[in-house]
Amino acid sequence: MNFGGKFTPKTPRREKTNLSSSSDSEKVKDPVSVFCRLRNLRDENEASCIKLMSPTVLSLICPSESRVLRKDTHYAFKHIFTSYASQKEVFDHIAYPLLEDLLRGKNGLLFTYGVTGSGKTYTLTGDPYNPGIMPRCIDTLFNSIAEHQAQKYIIKSDKMNGFEVQSEADARDDCLHENRSTKSLRKKGSGDKVLYTNDGTSILGINERNLYSVFISYIEIYNNTVYDLLDESGGKVLQSKILREDSQKNMYVNGVVEQEVKCAAEAFELFNAGQKRKRMGHTLLNAESSRSHSIFNIRVVQLEQYVLNSNGERVIPAQNLLKVGQLSLVDLAGSERSNRTQNTGMRLKEASSINNSLMSLRNCMEILRENQINNGSRLVPYRESRLTHIFKNYFEGEGRVEMIVCASPSVLDYEENLQVMKFADIASDVKVVRPESRFTPYKTKASKSKPTVETPITKIKATAPLVFGPKIPLLKLNFENIDDSIGGIRNLVKIIQTRKQKSLLLNREINAKDRAFRKRLAEMNSEYTLKISELKSAQQQYKKEKKKSQNLEVKVLELEKMNDSLDSKNVQLVDSIRNLRCNLDEKDLKLNQNLMEREKQKQKMALKQEKMNQELDDKLRRQRDHLNAAMRAKEDKLKRVRDLLDEEHAVVVAATPTKSVVSEVSNNKPPVPHRSRHVAVANRRRSKSVGEVWLEHNSVKPVPLGTVMQPSMNKRKSVSKLSKASDITHPKQSKYCLIAQEADTDGEVETKVYKADILPTCGGGAQVIFNDVERLRQESPVGTPQKYT
């Protein structure tokens, strides 16, 4: 490539758009494309306030614990990505069309919006193994134009938002200056490279007749002040930048560093260098919260090389053209409420600035929508915030605008999500002018040849032969007429004198051209000497590189041998893995068989256990029936005995007076008539306690009665309270009795003994079956009854 001079492109002037003008209405407009991406819940058991109705519609559900109950509202998007959507799916659906427009010289804007911690930075950046939109855009861009890039510094920024084309010599000087510079961003960032996985995606159908150059810039807006993240002129302290308007009424950052990159690795180095200087902070809601709005700009400049004529031949165009496209990737800081983040001091000031800038963006959107719907001319307040001022060109000029709304479905973020969804609804109604690809012509300067990509064609004009004057006429002497001959001689002398004067003028001109030629030759000789020195240095460098290449080839051969050995080892390992897998499959098969056999044994044991339990239940039922029959027989016998004893004692009591009656007679007192009372002295039968161990449970301390018959329990254990299970489940205990004492309606004491059998259960416990009740009462026919205390 040979460029003879430096050229400045002139972008065609774009008239300022008025939303209410008739010329604007004739342009094709597209609405802002609004997408939504949902983040997964941090806790699976947490409730969600977002319900997906369709791939484009979601419902925002008001939680029941909210202070203000609202109706469920539906919001429509161009597409909704769930938490299971991959990074590549988001890139293919959103960013890939923007890259296609970028390579056609069109502008695009993509920004993420949402509450803090909703996944905005992850959507744009991702991680090295799962890259986001920005790394995929860079990889896809260089995958597409890798073989069609212009030489570095042929296209150069003019520091005023434009580009200029310079000669190859100037480009080489700039390259040497960059190699000698110690403050290069690329060198400073080469210590910790962060490369992203490249999936090889490329854009088809690019114009192969053009040469491409890629320029990167990275800025942030912190506390409503613009800073250049790639500017290291001020050291570690970032210097604030101002916004200016270029000749085409486009806003740009004055003095921003716009670095040309030739591969994806260089672009990632610039991005990582800027990320280290970007302001991040820790809040209660997000460990790494962006405290500023960051804008990553990618500009692609195309230079037209040649055109094809009707015969399909390459023809150098009469006027070279530049085509510039820009893609801005914006990571907006998340909106946050101070009552949730508990920010104070500087963090509170940052949050206030962030919320104010987002509110300015929302106000601009609302006024734009109102002007478009009502055909109004209300002034849009872009200058209220640096964020809205820098993107004024997209909303009132030409460009494609897309927005990704990131939302966290947690019920704790319901209020923030509500405001985000309202802003998305407003943005989807705003329309912007469809971008158009335009070439920018540039003209050659005086005394400079026109730049061409092909070998320059030298056009040689046909020059007329040197003429020293009038043509010398043919003279014939006529001695017969001397006068005519003399006149001819005089005319010849005049012609010769004229030619002599002409020759003198030509000699002076030739001498001047000779001196100019010698001067030019000396300059060319000095340039040639310089080129020779550069060539020698290049040859030395080539020899070094060649030697290095040979060493690398030797290393490659060694590595290939190592690779072959590793391949053989890998084959062996694969075989061993295959054998181990076979053994593992066999063991798994045996294990499954053992498990099946164990399951069968368990089933058999379960059946046996069930059968035994049923047999034991039948046996216990038969024993219970037998005991009940025996108890009924005993009760019948006891009833007959009790009746006999009652009759006998009734006769004895009627015949013999009590001690109180005798005393009264001896004291000459008249006997007091008393009711005839029966003293229950024989209504208790003896317990058969031979060979049995009783558990005597005295729930209350009984009042002693002076009766003749008392319970007989030779082997017993007395307790006042059942505090543990072992009191019942003791294997030697087979009988249980509960002694209770209470007063009847007349206030006389009655002792009851509840008797029971202790039977073991299948589960290892014991059950108490009551089968008898004995009552003991003492009555006096004449005395005062004993009260129960």
Determine the average pLDDT of the residues in 178-191: 52
CB 95 within 8 A of CB 133: yes
Taking alpha carbons only, the member of 133, 140, 29 closest to residue 89 is 133
Could you give the CA distance from residue 416 to residue 113 in angstroms, rounded to a whole number? 12
Domain that holds residue 688: 677-777
pTM recorded for the entire structure: 0.53
pLDDT of residue 214: 94
pLDDT of residue 133: 94
Show the tokens assigned to 2: 């040979």
Q: Are residues 684 and 646 in the same domain?
A: no
Q: Which residue has the higher pLDDT, 567 or 167?
A: 567
pLDDT of residue 290: 67
CB 115 within 8 A of CB 335: yes
Of 624, 656, 688, the position where a domain reaches its end is 656
**Domain presence at residue 642:** yes
Residue 191 confidence class, pLDDT cut points 50, 70, 90:
very low
**Domain presence at residue 487:** no
List Cα–Cα distances, 61 to 52, 65, 389, in angstroms: 11, 12, 35
Could you give the CA distance from residue 593 to residue 283 in angstroms, rounded to a whole number? 57
- 401: pLDDT strictly greater than 50: yes
Helix runs in 404-481, H state only: 414-427
Question: To the nearest whole number, what is the mean pLDDT of the chain?
Answer: 77
Nearest 5°: the CA angle 16, 22, 24 is: 40
Q: Which residue has the higher pLDDT, 515 or 28?
A: 515
- 678: pLDDT strictly greater than 50: no
- Residue 638, Cα to own-chain centre: how many angstroms? 88
Could you give the CA distance from residue 37 to residue 28 in angstroms, rounded to a whole number? 28
Q: Are residues 293 and 416 in the same domain?
A: yes
Determine the average pLDDT of the residues in 112-131: 88
- 515: pLDDT strictly greater than 90: no
pLDDT of residue 746: 72
Q: Are residues 652 and 695 in the same domain?
A: no
Instruction: Give whichever of 183-197, 212-226, 740-754 has the largest mean pLDDT.
Output: 212-226
**Least-confidence region, from 225-234, 469-478, 713-722:** 469-478
CB 69 within 8 A of CB 49: no
Model confidence over 291-302: pLDDT tens digits?
Answer: 788 999 999 998
- 404: pLDDT strictly greater than 60: yes
pLDDT of residue 655: 43
pLDDT of residue 596: 92
Taking alpha carbons only, the member of 778, 789, 721, 731 closest to residue 759 is 731
- Three-state secondary structure along 345-410? CHHHHHHHHHHHHHHHHHHHHHHHHHHHHHCCCCCCCHHHCHHHHHCHHHHHCECEEEEEEEECCE
List Cα–Cα distances, 534 to 169, 211, 329, 527, 542, in angstroms: 12, 27, 42, 10, 12
pLDDT of residue 664: 36
**Domain presence at residue 474:** no
Q: Are residues 652 and 708 in the same domain?
A: no
CB 68 within 8 A of CB 419: no
Residue 471 confidence class, pLDDT cut points 50, 70, 90:
low
Determine the average pLDDT of the residues in 278-294: 64
pLDDT of residue 654: 47
**Domain presence at residue 268:** yes
**Least-confidence region, from 165-179, 615-629, 687-701:** 687-701
Residue 320 confidence class, pLDDT cut points 50, 70, 90:
low
Q: Are residues 508 and 428 in the same domain?
A: no
**Domain presence at residue 245:** yes
pLDDT of residue 233: 78
Model confidence over 324-369: pLDDT tens digits?
Answer: 899 999 998 877 665 555 555 566 677 777 878 888 888 888 888 8
Q: Are residues 412 and 557 in the same domain?
A: no
Q: Are residues 630 and 750 in the same domain?
A: no
pLDDT of residue 213: 92
Convert 633-647 to b/e letters by CB count within 10 Å (16 or more is b): eeeeeeeeeeeeeee
List Cα–Cα distances, 510 to 463, 496, 513, 515, 730, in angstroms: 15, 20, 5, 9, 141
Q: Are residues 735 and 706 in the same domain?
A: yes
**Least-confidence region, from 447-451, 549-553, 591-595, 718-722:** 447-451
pLDDT of residue 123: 92
Q: Which residue has the higher pLDDT, 367 or 710?
A: 367
- 628: pLDDT strictly greater than 60: yes
Q: Which residue has the higher pLDDT, 512 or 346?
A: 512
Q: Are residues 425 and 504 in the same domain?
A: no
CATH of the domain at 270: 3.40.850.10
Q: Are residues 595 and 688 in the same domain?
A: no
pLDDT of residue 488: 73
Q: Are residues 625 and 757 in the same domain?
A: no
Of 590, 625, 656, the position where a domain reaches its end is 656
Q: Which residue has the higher pLDDT, 277 or 98?
A: 98
Determine the average pLDDT of the residues in 769-781: 82
**Domain presence at residue 466:** no
Of 403, 425, 441, the position where a domain reaches its end is 441
- 426: pLDDT strictly greater than 80: yes
pLDDT of residue 46: 80
Model confidence over 697-707: pLDDT tens digits?
Answer: 887 777 777 67
Determine the average pLDDT of the residues in 202-223: 89
Q: Are residues 315 and 386 in the same domain?
A: yes
Nearest 5°: the CA angle 631, 632, 637 is: 95
Element (H, E) at 155: strand 155-157
667 CB-side CA count, 13 A: 10
- 185: pLDDT strictly greater than 50: no
- 1: pLDDT strictly greater than 70: no
Instruction: Give whichever of 78-82, 145-149, 272-276 has the largest mean pLDDT.
Output: 78-82
Determine the average pLDDT of the residues in 721-731: 79
Residue 573 confidence class, pLDDT cut points 50, 70, 90:
very high
Residue 4 confidence class, pLDDT cut points 50, 70, 90:
very low
**Domain presence at residue 161:** yes
Show the tokens assigned to 236: 């570690």
- 192: pLDDT strictly greater than 80: no
Q: Indicate the annotated binding residues for ATP.
A: 114-121
pLDDT of residue 131: 92
Residue 535 confidence class, pLDDT cut points 50, 70, 90:
confident
pLDDT of residue 280: 63
- 681: pLDDT strictly greater than 70: no
**Domain presence at residue 600:** yes
Residue 447 confidence class, pLDDT cut points 50, 70, 90:
very low
Determine the average pLDDT of the residues in 670-681: 37
CATH of the domain at 718: 2.60.40.4330
Model confidence over 58-104: pLDDT tens digits?
Answer: 998 888 777 677 788 899 999 999 988 999 999 999 999 999 999 98
pLDDT of residue 668: 38
pLDDT of residue 669: 38
Residue 129 confidence class, pLDDT cut points 50, 70, 90:
confident
State the Rg of the chain over Cα: 55
Determine the average pLDDT of the residues in 412-418: 85
Q: How many domains does the chain have?
A: 3
Q: Which residue has the higher pLDDT, 7 or 773?
A: 773
CB 693 within 8 A of CB 710: no
pLDDT of residue 16: 38
Model confidence over 31-47: pLDDT tens digits?
Answer: 889 999 998 887 777 88
Residue 470 confidence class, pLDDT cut points 50, 70, 90:
low
- 155: pLDDT strictly greater than 50: yes
Q: Indicate the annotated binding residues.
A: 114-121
Element (H, E) at 60: strand 57-60
